[in-house]
Structure 1
Amino acid sequence: MPTSTERLDRAIAMTERLIGFDTTSRNSNLSLIEDVKAYLGDLGIAARLTYDDDGRKANLWCTIGPQEHGGIVLSGHTDVVPVDGQEWTTDPFTLTRRGDRLYGRGACDMKAFVAIALSLAPEMAAADLRVPIHFAFSYDEEVGCMGVQRIVDDVVANLPLPRAVIIGEPTSMKLIGGNKGTRIYKTRVTGVPGHSSDPRHGANAVTAASRMVAFIDDLGQEIAATPQADCPFDPPYSTLTVGIIEGGTAHNIIPEFCDITWGMRVLPEDDADVYEARIRDYCTEVLEPGLKAIAPHAGFDHRRMVDVAGLRPDHDSAAETLVRQLTGLNRSGVVSFGTEAGTFQRAGMPAVIFGPGSIDQAHKADEFIDIDQVAQCVDFMVDLIEWAKTAD
């Protein structure tokens, strides 16, 4: 039986191995996935891959133990955010240990969690598990939880349904039972160009876009004015934001095009379709008539780029119950950032967010995770293995 120190050393070594792969979302993650698949294969664990449309990226799913319903999923994403423009004092794709911290891109978000699970795979494989443990490692979480939907679809269609999913995002090993959903849109406003000396002969796309932006802001303030009572989220309401607006070519040309990137962070119990419909209707009914009076082809084209389900708090779910049982934690919280948890929950798989490291360190230069957090997560997974050996 390995000692705690040996387990921690193996977890750190696996974290180093994973950080060595530059899996920035714009890149392929296949080198990491194939390495993990080979590692699992050497342990006699068969991995199942699902790919993106181009075959450049893949999710990995595997089952350790009996091929039965009711397993526990340890889920993490393999992609990381870019380091471009950040001032790192270490090589972001080489794990650096300084004192009690491990530095590297993905150290907390969230390769350490994936690495801890993988480092304990030999013990899982050697154990006589009564309840299966699954790994679900996804691509493109950082750009909108694109990959996880294919894992979920594959599980629902072809595999035994698990009883609980643990998403190992950095929560400082605190139990999180809810997160807001995310939607991101791109809107192109098409107007009619012309000389700025006579605006009557053009349709100004920037002006129309600015009115849409103002409406989004007004709607956001309307929602904020009626916060939900006893809401655990901060802020206690859904939010709307405009992130990018680009349009026009010169000061003396009436802009023909303007592009807007905007989005929502939506409470799990709110209906994002209602907010989207109000914005679309305002553009269609109030703004477009003026544009189309100049040219029939002018108007608004809205495209939903990201749709990530929120995680609805469920204190009685199998996922919360299990983590409480193994940790002694007696309460769960919520976060406003998006995760893959809601995608699993929406498909009938109870989920929680619970992992090592602080979200405060994610996406920053010199991203790090405290070694104590790694050790705590190792201990949790060891307890999970023991539970899976005797549970029904």
Structure 2
Amino acid sequence: MTRTLEILDRLVGFPTVSRDSNLDLIEYVQGLLEAAGFDVTRISGASGIKAGLYARIGPKIDGGLCLSAHTDVVPVDGQDWTRPPFSLTDEGSRVFGRGTTDMKGFLASALALAGRVNVNALDAPLSFSISYDEEIGCVGMQEMMPQLMPLLGKPRLVVVGEPTSMQVAIGHKGKTALDVICHGQAGHSALAPQFTNAIYVAADFVQGVRALQEQLALGPSDADYSVPYSTVHVGRISGGQALNIVPADAKIEMEFRHLSDTPASVIVEKLEAIAKRVDALHKSATPITLEQVNAYPGLNTDPHDPAVDWVRSASGGNPLTKVPFGTEAGFFSELGLSTVVIGPGDMATDGHKPDEGLCKSELAKCDTMLDNLVSSIVS
């Protein structure tokens, strides 16, 4: 595991918070992969300060293994760190630093694997998909997909290395984020009843969202999730200019997370129906509008897929699970690729927290799993 820790030390040292550039880290990773004999394609982001990579080694055929990781991390602003966040601190059984768990630990393990693979023994390709801006809603993967799809081919298995305590995750919910724009009429607050208050319109829409949540709780469910049904959530409401002016506009920022049995389009239709009812109630001249801000697909891999058995065997027979957080796995699954999420670390314990850390034993398990997976595609 020495090499894995050396690489992790370098990766943590790059402060790749989503709002900042990741190009220095990408340059380092590209150098490692090219030195190991991989064909590397850099995929630049729209901003010009971000990039992802696709790298491949071995026969130019379908099949094989694709390892997926993101390079960005969440901010440390306002958190009470007792260790330097962008420097790896080794304290025996655990290492600390931003991204150790989410998810530079897996990336380090994968890159260490790349350095010890014998390309001449590979019977099927080994590839890497390395992205950016995952932490702000899988934005980087959405930008990368047009260039990534023709490069991917049809690997037998895609492993997305988010932290699962090395359990094999075969599912997570999809997510859609929306801005709901509500309209009213500006006027003097002394004459407030004569005007439509946009905040009141927004409040009535939120009441409709709360009722929708009750309906969803009685609908399709999946007991493998801690919250077994689809959810709707209002995170922020803004509107109005001054206390003595009736608000002409208000904005609701909301999201929903949906099971595979409840497509996103179904929930959008229900939200649009709520908007129509509220418009009718207020006799609004300008209707409520729903604007999609972001969305990513869920994951629902068949537990009987032979590729699931492959990764379970390689990881020591760990149990199957589903995770409450979103990942990039759904993008690969939508392409018809067998996809699982498994990686070192525990999101609940360490993810996005001050003094984020990772047990070395988890890294060792990840190294072993990746070696076992590759042993299945070498002669």
Q: Tell me which interval the TM-score lies in, with the shorter structure as reference length.
A: over 0.9
Confirm or deny that 1:367 pairs with 2:367.
no
Matched residue of 2:121: which SS? coil
Alignment match of 1:122 (pick from 112, 115, 128):
115
Check whether the contact 1:116–1:374 (CA below 8 A) recurs between aligned residues.
yes
Q: Counterpart of 2:338?
A: 350
Task: State how far apart, in whole Å, the 1-side matches of 2:351 and 2:334 are.
Answer: 26
- After TM superposition, the structure 1 = structure 2 runs for residues 160-175 of structure 1, keeping only pairs within 5 Å, are 160-175=153-168
The equivalent of 1:268 in structure 2 is 260
* Cα distance in 2 between the residues matched to 1:379 and 1:269: 35
What amino acid does structure 2 have at the position aligned with 1:338?
Answer: G
Residue 258 of structure 1 is matched in structure 2 by: 250
Is the CA contact (8 Å cut-off) linking 1:100 and 1:372 kept in structure 2? yes
| TM superposition score normalised by structure 2 | 0.95
In the alignment, which residue of structure 2 is the partner of 1:299?
287
Greater displacement, 214-223 / 157-166: 157-166
Q: How does 1:209-288 map to 2 (within 5 A)?
A: 209-226=202-219, 228=221, 231-283=223-275, 285-288=276-279
Shift of 1:112: 0.7
1:333 and 2:321 matched: yes
Deviation at 1:55, TM superposition (A): 2.2
Determine if the alignment matches structure 1 residue 53 to structure 2 residue 41. Answer: no
Unaligned runs of 5+ in 2: none
Is 1:191–1:299's contact at 8 Å kept on the other side of the alignment?
A: no
Moved more, 253-262 or 315-324: 315-324
Secondary structure at the aligned position of 1:120 is classed as helix
Q: Distance in 1 between matches of 2:351 and 2:33?
A: 28
Cα distance in structure 2, aligned partners of 1:196 and 1:150: 46
Distance 1:355 1:263 in 2: 27
C-alpha distance in structure 2 between counterparts of 1:158 and 1:179, whole Å = 25
Higher mean C-alpha deviation, range 347-356 or range 314-323: 314-323
Question: Measured at CA, do residues 139 and 318 of structure 1 come closer, stay the same or move farther in structure 2, by a change above 3 Å?
Answer: farther
Q: Shift of residue 150 of structure 1?
A: 4.3
- Greater shift in the superposed pair: 169-178 or 184-193: 184-193
- 1:36 is displaced (CA, Å) by 0.9
Deviation of the 1:330 alpha carbon = 6.2
Q: What amino acid maps onto 2:141 in structure 1?
A: V
Cα distance between partner residues in 1 of 2:220 and 2:161:
30
Does the CA-based 8 Å contact 2:173-2:326 persist in structure 1? yes
Gap change, CA 1:83 and 1:245, over 3 Å in 2: same
1:389 aligns with 2:378: yes
Give the whole-Å Cα distance in 2 for the aligned partners of 1:126 and 1:345.
27
Query: Secondary structure of 2:377's match?
Result: helix
Query: Given that residues 315 and 365 in structure 2 are in contact (C-alpha distance below 8 angstroms), is that contact kept between their aligned partners in structure 1?
Result: no
User: Structure 2 CA distance, aligned partners of 1:237 and 1:197?
Assistant: 45
1:126 CA drift (Å):
4.8
Deviations along 1:274-297, one digit per CA (max 9) or x if unpaired, are: 1111111221x222346665xx4x
1:313 aligned residue: 301
Work out the CA distance in 2 between the residues paired with 1:240 and 1:206.
20
Q: Distance in 2 between matches of 1:26 and 1:190?
A: 32
Q: Which segment is superposed worse, 230-239 or 27-36? A: 230-239
Give the number of equivalent residue pairs.
Answer: 378
After TM superposition, give the deviation of residue 151 of structure 1 in Å: 4.2
- Over the matched positions of the two proteins, sequence identity in percent amounts to 38
What is the 5 A alignment of 1:87-166?
87-126=80-119, 128-166=121-159
Write out per-residue CA displacement over residues 331-388 of structure 1, whole angstroms, 9 at most, x where no aligned residue. Answer: 4111121111111101111100111011121000110000110111111112222222
Check conservation: 1:65, 1:125, Cα contact below 8 A: no
- Give the Å deviation of 1:111: 0.4
- Tell me, yes or no, if the aligned pair for 2:175 and 2:326 is still in contact at 8 Å: yes
Q: Which runs of 5+ in 1 are unaligned?
A: 1-7
> Does the aligned pair in 2 maintain the 1:45–1:125 contact within 8 Å?
no
Alpha-carbon distance in structure 2 between the residues aligned to 1:158 and 1:227? 36
The answer to whether the Cα contact below 8 Å between 2:209 and 2:271 also exists between their aligned partners in 1 is yes
**In the alignment, which residue of structure 2 is the partner of 1:4?**
none
Asked if the contact 2:165–2:344 (Cα under 8 Å) also holds between the matched residues in 1, the reply is yes
Mapped partners of 1:125, 1:55: distance in 2: 35
TM-score for both structures, normalised by structure 1: 0.92
Q: Distance in 2 between matches of 1:36 and 1:156?
A: 21
Report the more deviating stretch, 44-53 or 106-115. Answer: 44-53
Alignment partner, residue 191 of structure 2? 198
